[in-house]
Structures are given as structure tokens and as C-alpha cells.
Amino acid sequence: MTDLRLLSFYAIMVEQIIDNIDSIQRSPNSQVSQQNKDTEIKRCKVSAYRVILAVSSALEPIVNVPAYDSKKLFSELFDKNLISNLNKKVPKLKTLLEKLDTFEKSVDVSQLISQKAVFPDAKKNAEVFDATLLIQSKTTEDAINNGNPQEKGFMYYLNDAWEWLKSLFSCGRNEPL
């Protein structure tokens, strides 16, 4: 059931991304420059791609498709019997699949997913992959050059309140705090 709950969660994320793309596309050019629109839509595509991959991995144990065979996974995802079976379990799934279907038509997700099979061939994944890699490499390089890593510890350790914590654990059994 956990995987199915995850799907429901992903469905909400996909809906939000699609709504976001819709609103960007509908916004008048006078308010947002075309270049900004394109950049923002590209960002949404990258997010959607990740969410869809997450859906793929969440579905993996359900549809029993081997890892990384994303193309096959998606063809099974859109199989009518599978949808019907899963719909009985997760009401949100139908909406998710409809949205994914619409989304696939609008941003050519099938192309992105088929690229996953040969991922990460940068030449074939140029637009989405390179944009992500560039941003993340830059952040990491900055961290390596100038970063100051800060780890965290359990608070009672810092507060030296272990004894207090032990007594807290006993509170429900009428032992003194």
C-alpha cells in the first residue's frame, strides 16, 4: 500500500507542475518575457521528469518491471487493464494517469522516458539533463571551494538531558518525571 500512497502523492505533484506550466503559458507576454517563460517551463519540465521517474520507481514493485526499463514500464503504465485494476485501489490514480497522458502530449514525455533507457548519454539528453547538471555542478563546486559543512547531533546529546529523556519515556507509567 505504501507504493500506492506514494502514487497519490506524486499525482498531486504532477498536477501542480502541470498547472504551473499552464499558467506560465497563459500569462501575457507583456508581463513575462518570452525568454523567462521558456526558462521557467524548462525548469518545470525537469521537475516533471523527476516526478515521472519517481512514479516509475514507485510502480516498479507493482507492475513487476525490471529496473531501468522505463519505456516498457510506461507502456504498461498506460495499459488499460492495469489502470482499471489500480483505479480500484487509488482514486487519485485515474487523475494522475489522465494528467500524465495530457502532459505527455504537451511536453513529449515519452521521448524523455525513452531517453532514460540510454541515460545519461548527454548528447541525447542535452536539454533537460545538461541544464540540471550545470546547476548542480556549480553548487557543488562552490561547496567544495568555500563550504563549511555543518553536521547535526541529537539534541539531548547537546543539552546533556539524557536522564531527563529517560524519565520522559517513563511518564506514561506513572513514574516520577
Partner 1 sequence: MNDINKKMIQALIKIRLNDYYLPSEVGFFDAFYFGKLIPFSLQMVEKICHNSQFKQNPFDQTKQHIIVFAKEKPDEFILFSSQLLQYYTIICDAELANIKSFYKMLHYIEDKIEVFGDASKNLLMAEYYLIEMYNDIFSDLEKFNSVSDDKKLSINKFISQNRRKISILLARLEQNVKCTGAYFYQGVFIDYLYVIINYTQAFLVDYELKLNGGEYTDSFSKNRQKYLQECLKYLDLLEKAQRVACFDPFFLGKHLFAKFAIKTIPEFKSHLQMLLQ
Q: Which residues bind partner 1 (CB under 8 A)?
A: 2, 6, 43, 46-47, 50, 53-54, 57, 67-68, 119-120, 122, 129, 132-133, 135-141, 143-157, 160, 162, 165-166, 168-174
Closer CB to partner 1, 102 or 147, in the complex = 147
- Cβ closer to partner 1: 30 or 64? 64
**CB-CB neighbours of 115 under 10 Å:** 19
Measured between alpha carbons, how far is 61 from 53 in angstroms, rounded to an integer?
A: 14
Question: At its nearest, how many Å lie between partner 1 and the CB of residue 28?
Answer: 26
Minimum distance of partner 1 from residue 84's CB (angstroms): 26
Integer Cα distance of 168 and 176 in angstroms? 9
Between CA 51 and CA 14 the distance in angstroms is 7
For the bound state, the minimum distance from the C-beta of residue 27 to partner 1, rounded and expressed in Å, comes to: 21
